[in-house]
Structure 1
Amino acid sequence: MTNDRLASWLDRSGLSRGELARRVKAKALLWNEPHVATSTTRVRFWIEGQIPRQPLPDIIAAVFSDHFGYRVTTYDLGLGEGAGAERALVYNSSYAATVEVVADLGRADVDRRNFLAGVPFAALAGIGPSRDWLMNTLDQSPEPGPRVRLEDVTAVKNMFGEFQKMDVLQGGGSGRLILAEYMNQHVYPLLHRTYSDDVRRALCEAAAEQTYLLGWMAYDNGEHGVAQRYLIQSLRLAEESGNAALGSHVLAGMADQATLLGDPAEGRRLTQAGRLGLTHANSPACLADLWCLEARALALLGDKIAAARAVVESEKAYANARLDEEPEWAAFIDPAYLHGEHANTFRDLGDAASADEHARRSIDHARSQKRARRGAMSQAALAVSHLQRNDLEAAYAAGVRTLNLTQQVRSSRAIEAVHDLQRRMRPFGSHRLVADFNERTRELTAAA
């Protein structure tokens, strides 16, 4: 059956079959796919209905997208669903290919959310990226790149703080699509036209920061497959920028996600890679975060002594942090965050007294900053510490505060903290407080 869609797009483009073949071959080389061969005859076969194997459909779509100046998908061209989501799991050695992948991921996120929402989290996908980032960070030899104005980079960096504040105060589900649209319209296009090496590094750093934030917001919103792909591409952009601390920060996010999704061993390994990367950079706040997340992983692995030691190392590192010397992306790494995560560590270790202490300190800081998400998660940890001491009434009171704060944000992590608390109340059976909490949870879930 003739592929009328492809024929129509080719006719609109004004390109000959031979020119399309040449552009596809050139794009394949940019994507580090030198084995791809094409010709006028192959283009004729495509128009006659033959669907080529990947990565050709994605490469063809990228050629048309470049030509028209807006996204053209494999679906638009009658070539089926693309493999862009899977390519975003790859840490590509080619900078040009990385630019294409992250831009395509962003466009798919905005344009075809139903398709991208179904992509799975790949359990072992972090192994290669973390290894390659670490090797290249410890032996950095960047190549010169194309040019962009410093004013463009400054504008991007100025926007980062606003989006990060939106995430911290309102939850990842609140502004993620707004950030994705901003990245597609204003940031990813710049990656195609960078110029001097210094500006290129600055632009990659700014793009890595915001791509990480996109991934983190997706993670907080429960979109783990999407989050993973953004984080891997953010790690690659961080390498291109030469900012080792930023790369370590991205690895911290990947570690947090791996641990949350049930692989604390992988989470621990990622934190260790991040700490090793910091031998070439100085960010006590990032180091504190990495130790904090390693403690979380160790607690789930059942290593009580090592987990407690990691908490101490986290606190020692943070004692050396100077907020005015830390990058803007580290602003959230503060007592509200760290004590909240330490509370979860001691909760998982069954140390109710220590969990209680850290949870209360986190709650106090979060309240003063009006951080509902962090407050909700720390209230949940406090509630669990009460349950571990068989104090259902105190747990219920903290649980209600968790529910009230969770209603103020759009965060699947906060909702999961509520559900976790609900599961931990089950041993108390049909007690009226358990029944009331379950009913309140149902109302929250229905509203969400």
Structure 2
Amino acid sequence: MKTPEPNAGLERLYRETGWTLRQFAQEVNRVGTERGTPLRYREPSVHQWLKGGMPKETVRPLILEALARKLRRPITRDDAGFPSPPDNSSAHPNTVEGLMDLGKQDMDPSRRSVIGAALFSVALTVPDWPDVVGRMEAVQKGRTRHVGTAEVDMVIAMTERISELDDQFGGRTARPMAAAFLVNTVAPYLKADAPEPVRKAMMSAASDLCYLTGYMAVDEGLHGLAQQYYVKALKLAGASEDHLTYCTTLRGMSVQAVDLGHGSSAMRLADAASAASPQAGPRMRAFLAGQQAHASAQLGERGKALSYLREAEVAMEKAESRAKSFGSYDPSSLLYHVSQVRYELGDIAGSISAMGQSDRLRHSVYRRARVRHRCTLAERQLELGHLEAACRTWGLALDDYPSVQSGRADERIRAMHMRIRPYLKNHAARDLYERARMTAPTATHRT
């Protein structure tokens, strides 16, 4: 039988606590007693753990809790060198602990490319709404800390503020802040004692934040990472019976898919979002139908695309006031969908007209979207041979670009640089090219 390797992660944490082997065992026993499962561990057991012997599955959370209390920070299975529990229909992984692991990896720049590499493998596991409601394990209690509505309100307010920063400056600026907030504040809140209504409200608030963090990962091109955040958002939304965030997240996953050219996945996710929201308000209905229209158009289903677009337009007319949340959908957003549908169906001139209208209606706070969509508009103008109009539109995008830290904006500016290069004999193209070299040297010269 192979001798196990020493558990370097657990050894590192043990050294940090300053405990003796006996103290470590006593603290684990104490947590077990609090949870109603008295234990009698002594020094030899701890010694075995440090040398690579794996504690029982039921004991591992108690070890993590004891370490977290001593070190005053969240400790995950990954930190302690413990494997994740099996993910099957009868044993759901600990969602809160998984959220901490994900956030910690996201905070580590050396890990981002690894966790962001996959495409759509996670999305295939998306559950239906009836399957996810109440199915997540009850959030484990064990800390003496108590949370109430004030903590829920704080998480909501922080999410709104991070969303505002994302809109103005891009996901690269705001996402590290969101990941740190998830790990250091929100996850411990989810494990704290709270009345049932407060516990559900906290899970709902955490779900919103997970969705936003996933959206910002998409902005940086980390699509596998984004999907992991999205699936966490779905589980938390289901556990808190939060239909709105559940549907918003599925819709976001559909947007991610259609932007990457995965029309079938985009359609399936958009249909799932629609099916899960039978009582959606008109603004949500408009967004869902607009997304279904875009996905249908990408699949070449002209009749369905135009039908969904009409449905979106009717729903938008019924929407009474502008939503304040980051998930809002306004006439500018609807016109963006109109533009995308027209383009997918071969009407380039119509797509240019709708995108121009969308740009004129877009609120100034959405700076990142303005850069991306103006670049898309310019590309389509160039496609029709309108070189100088395209240069003017790209010039407007460059006005905002220096203030935006966004992978998707970088991609569009790099595309501009490549597309304009064949036209440098034209003075407008040459002026734009030179300005781009001064304004965005990193983005335009990256290979």
TM-score after normalising by structure 1:
0.79
Q: Does 1:381 align with 2:376?
A: yes
Distance in 1 (alpha carbons) for counterparts of 2:289 and 2:105: 35
Query: What is the CA distance between 1:10 and its match in structure 2?
Result: 3.5
Paired amino acid for 1:98: T
Which amino acid in structure 2 is aligned with residue 126 of structure 1? A
Work out whether residues 255 and 271 of structure 1, in 8 Å CA contact, stay in contact via their aligned partners in 2.
yes
Q: Tell me the residue number matched to 2:398.
A: 403
**Of 140-149 and 170-179, the range deviating more from structure 2:** 140-149
- In terms of mean alpha carbon deviation, does 209-218 or 301-310 score higher? 301-310
1:68 aligns with 2:71: yes
Residues 1:293 and 2:291 are matched in the alignment? yes
For residue 344 of structure 2, what is the aligned residue in structure 1?
A: 348
- C-alpha RMSD of matched pairs (Å): 4.2
Give 1 or 2 for the bigger CA radius of gyration: 2
2:311 equivalent in structure 1:
313
1:366-385 CA-partner distances (Å, limit 9, x unpaired): 2x524322222222232233
Secondary structure at the counterpart of residue 328 of structure 1: coil
Instruction: Say yes or no: does 1:417 pair with 2:412.
Output: yes
Q: For 1:268 and 1:58, how far apart are their aligned partners in 2?
A: 41
Structure 1 Cα separation of the partners of residues 409 and 341 of structure 2: 17
Matching residue of 2:200 = 201
Q: 1:116 to 1:381 in 2, by over 3 A?
A: closer
Counterpart in the other structure of 1:35: none
Which range moved further: 62-71 or 401-410? 62-71
C-alpha distance 141-128 of structure 1, shift in aligned 2 (>3 A) = closer
| Residues 140 and 191, structure 2, Cα contact 8 Å, conserved in 1 | no
- 2:162 is matched by which residue type in structure 1? F
Letter in structure 1 aligned against 2:50:
I
Name structure 1 gaps, 5 residues minimum: 31-37
* CA drift at 1:302: 2.6
Other structure's SS at 1:305 match: helix
1:75-103 Cα distance to aligned partner (Å, 9 max, x none): 866x4xx777xx8x979987881111112
Q: For 1:210-359, what aligned pairs fall within 5 Å after superposition?
A: 210-279=209-278, 281-323=279-321, 326=323, 328-331=325-328, 333-359=329-355
Q: Which runs of 5+ in 2 are unaligned?
A: none
Asked whether the equivalents of residues 134 and 273 of structure 1 are also in contact (C-alpha less than 8 Å), the reply is no
Kindly indicate whether residue 180 of structure 2 is the aligned counterpart of residue 181 of structure 1. Answer: yes
1:347-382 deviation line (CA, Å, top 9, x unaligned): 33321222122111111122x524322222222232
Separation in 2, partners of 1:407, 1:55: 50
Q: Which moved more, 1:189-198 or 1:153-162?
A: 153-162
Provide the secondary structure at the position in 2 that maps to 1:124.
coil
After superposing the two structures, state which structure 1 stretch, 292-301 or 206-215, moved more. 292-301
Q: How does 1:25-104 map to 2 (within 5 A)?
A: 44-48=47-51, 50=52, 64-65=67-68, 67-72=70-75, 79=81, 97-104=94-101
| 1:255-274 residue CA offsets vs partner (Å, 9 max, x unmatched) | 11222233221111111100
Deviations 1:217-270 (A, max 9, x none): 121122223222111111111111111121000111111122223322111111
TM-superposed CA distance for 1:314, in Å, is 2.0
2:76–2:101 contact (8 Å) kept in structure 1: no
Rounded Cα–Cα distance in structure 2 between residues aligned with 1:308 and 1:39: 70
Amino acid of the structure 1 residue aligned with 2:276: G
Q: Is the helix fraction higher in 1 or 2?
A: 1
Alpha-carbon distance between aligned partners in 2 of 1:213 and 1:92, rounded to the nearest angstrom: 27
Amino acid at match of 1:47: L
Return 158-167 or 415-424, whichever deviates more.
Answer: 415-424
Q: Which amino acid aligns with 1:303?
A: E
Q: Distance in 2 between matches of 1:345 and 1:265?
A: 15
